[in-house]
Amino acid sequence: MRFLSKLVSYIFHPIFVPLAGTVSYFLITPKYTTLEMRSGNILPIFILTIIIPILSFFILKNLGIVQTIFLSRPEERKYPLMISLILLLMILLKVIPDHYTLELYFFFLGLIAATSTCLLLLIIPFKTSLHMMGMGSILMFLIALSIHFERNIVVAISLMFFASGLVASSRLFLKAHSRSELLIGFLVGVVSQLLTLKFWL
């Protein structure tokens, strides 16, 4: 059970959320998008949200700032969240053409709001579940895309609900978070996306 919980935690790690949201958008949108446009968005986002954070993690680990990729202690989260925030801002300002991929633009704006909230909560200090923040963000984005494009993706949304429960159970089993940290994380993800809907839905 412990192995399965760790596996779930790795598979649904928040580092994959920006790329998952981007790929989901291009799979769902009925808008015509060229291969060049898709790769022009997906490749830079892959580099900025997965490759660079992984390299940053190893640097921070060598410096003794972080211990594991799950950032178990609140004090470990400050610099990784700041790096993530800077990279998300770079994507928002330089990668996504907001005149066309408006939905994706506001998805990343929501991620920036969620990441900023998690960073601010460290002042308390409160260790928000980044896993559940990511799950909440993706789930709300899928629901919004389904309504916006009038696409029936009930199966995908149902699977995300199931995955969210699985991730929450895994984090509880590993004693990585309390119930309140998981709930707040999920709400931060959902609400941050919900607040952007009035601009594009």
In order of 29, 44, 70, 141, 184, the CA distances from 160 in angstroms are: 18, 25, 21, 11, 18
> In the chain, pLDDT over 90 holds for what percent of residues?
62
**CA–CA separation, 130 vs 154, rounded Å?**
25
Q: What is the pLDDT of residue 170?
A: 92
Strand, coil or helix: 71:
coil
**Assigned token pair, 28:** 């769902």
Structure confidence by residue, pLDDT tens digits, 58-78: 998 888 888 877 777 778 888
**Assigned token pair, 89:** 């801002």
Q: For residue 179, give its domain range.
A: 2-199
Peptide bond into 80 cis (omega under 30): no
Contact between 118 and 42 (Cβ < 8 Å): no
Q: pLDDT band at 201, cuts 50/70/90?
A: confident
Helices (H) and strands (E) in the chain, counts: 9, 0
Global pTM exceeds 0.85: yes
**CA–CA separation, 160 vs 201, rounded Å?**
21
Question: Which of 31-35, 83-87, 150-154: highest mean pLDDT?
Answer: 83-87
**CA–CA separation, 180 vs 123, rounded Å?**
17
Identify the DSSP state of 74.
Answer: G
Q: For the chain, how many structural domains are there in total?
A: 1
Closest CA to 182 of 168, 193, 170: 168
Q: pLDDT band at 121, cuts 50/70/90?
A: very high
